[in-house]
Amino acid sequence: MAASIAIREVTKTFETADGPVHAFGPSSLDIQPGEFVSLLGPSGCGKSTLLLMVAGLLATTSGEILSRGEIVKGPRTDIGIMFQDNTLVPWRTVQGNIELQLELRGLDRNSYRDRIAQLIANVQLAGFENRFPHELSGGMQQRAALCQSLVHKPETLLLDEPLGKLDAMTRETIRRDLQNLWMSSRPTVLFVTHSIEEAVQLSNRVCIITPRPGRIERTIDIDLPWPRDLAVKKTMAFAKHVSTIQEIFHGFGVL
Ligand SMILES: Nc1ncnc2c1ncn2[C@@H]1O[C@H](COP(=O)(O)OP(=O)(O)OP(=O)(O)O)[C@@H](O)[C@H]1O
Ligand SMILES: [Mg+2]
């Protein structure tokens, strides 16, 4: 079976007023359908850059990215994406922002009414459907953006620190929901995070990225049982994965 996402010797260099900035690569990675893969690395190591290249929103400088065997040449509409910065449009409500994703894909919003209500309830935004983004907290905006990325049931999800602005308790709840969603419909997920624990809890593989220019230094299989609830997080095996990864970052001089 063709990999859901294949990253082949990809590099990215940005041209800036101060000269070229080598942001990422070269690195390669194959992600199989239904995998949950985290990109874990320090600030500025090129995680968002890589995600945007996978989405077809940014060109690679060298190397190529394939989606199910086809070279990605431009923006992809078959995926669900959540950007690091909030991308809700200010002139639409929560409901309207979620429906925008359907409109952009030519899907009939009426047939998604129940799904939208369910997604909104799952992220605890029921009652806020008709609020505009400026009437929401940062964490609420982030939860609405998560609904946006999921509404059209994409087979591939690209999530850039989707839980970054949430308080610890909400973060744990949404993590659990995300894990349940992944276990029930098995999308391919590429997930960016700074949190070692979050990566270990959610992923079947964690990619460790070096400081800039980021390269995928190692990928670690996380062979823990599912679902990874609080009980699993308290096990020795969980702690061992976390400490292995901490040691790798310590070796980079990051921790
Ligand atoms: N459009 C751009 N033009 C010039 N440089 C850029 C651009 N986008 C990113 N960079 C540079 O590329 C490097 C990687 O940036 P990127 O946003 O991918 O990092 P990141 O790993 O997502 O960091 P963070 O964890 O802080 O979000 C940084 O040095 C950044 O300054
Ligand atoms: Mg980023």
pLDDT at 97: 97
Q: Give me the number of domains the chain comprises.
A: 1
> pLDDT tens across 75-101, in order?
998 899 999 887 899 999 999 999 999
Decide whether any atom of ligand 1 lies within 6 Å of the 150 Cβ: no
The residue whose CB lies within 8 Å of the most ligand 1 atoms, and thus the one to mutate among 39, 49, 83, is: 49
pLDDT band for position 180 (cuts 50, 70, 90): confident
Ligand 2 (ion): which residues have CB within 5 A?
A: 48, 84
Hey, is 208 helix, strand or coil? strand
Q: What is the mean pLDDT of residues 14-26?
A: 96
Rounded Cα–Cα distance for residues 134 and 105 (Å): 26
pLDDT at 215: 97
Decide whether any atom of ligand 1 lies within 6 Å of the 44 Cβ: yes
pLDDT at 87: 81
Domain residues for the domain of 133 are: 84-154
Which residue owns the Cα nearest ligand 1 atom 27? 43
Decide whether any atom of ligand 1 lies within 6 Å of the 242 Cβ: no
Ligand 1 centre and the CA of 212: distance in Å?
A: 9
CB 214 within 8 Å of CB 47: yes
Long-range CB contacts for residues 112-117, cutoff 8 Å, separation at least 24: 112/151, 112/152, 115/151, 115/153, 116/147, 116/151
Q: Is the pLDDT of residue 255 over 90?
A: no
The torsion of the CA quartet 46, 181, 206, 249, rounded to 10 degrees, works out to 70
pLDDT at 236: 97
Q: Which tokens hold the place of 210?
A: 């070096």
Asked whether residue 167 is domain-assigned, the answer is no
Q: How many residues does the chain have?
A: 255
Which residue owns the Cα nearest ligand 1 atom 24? 43
The residue whose CB lies within 8 Å of the most ligand 1 atoms, and thus the one to mutate among 21, 43, 252, is: 21
CB 166 within 8 Å of CB 140: no
pLDDT at 246: 97
pLDDT at 73: 94
pLDDT band for position 1 (cuts 50, 70, 90): confident
> pLDDT tens across 200-244, in order?
999 999 999 999 999 999 999 999 999 999 999 999 999 999 999
Asked whether residue 146 is domain-assigned, the answer is yes
Q: What is the mean pLDDT of residues 146-167?
A: 92
- pTM over 0.85, yes/no: yes
pLDDT at 150: 93
Decide whether any atom of ligand 1 lies within 6 Å of the 23 Cβ: yes
Ligand 2 centre and the CA of 81: distance in Å?
A: 13
For the CA of 51, the closest atom of ligand 1 is: 18
Which residue owns the Cα nearest ligand 1 atom 12? 23
pLDDT at 134: 96
pLDDT at 199: 97
Q: What is the mean pLDDT of residues 164-188?
A: 88
Decide whether any atom of ligand 1 lies within 6 Å of the 46 Cβ: yes
Asked whether residue 71 is domain-assigned, the answer is no
Q: What average pLDDT does the chain have?
A: 94
Ligand 1 centre and the CA of 152: distance in Å?
A: 29
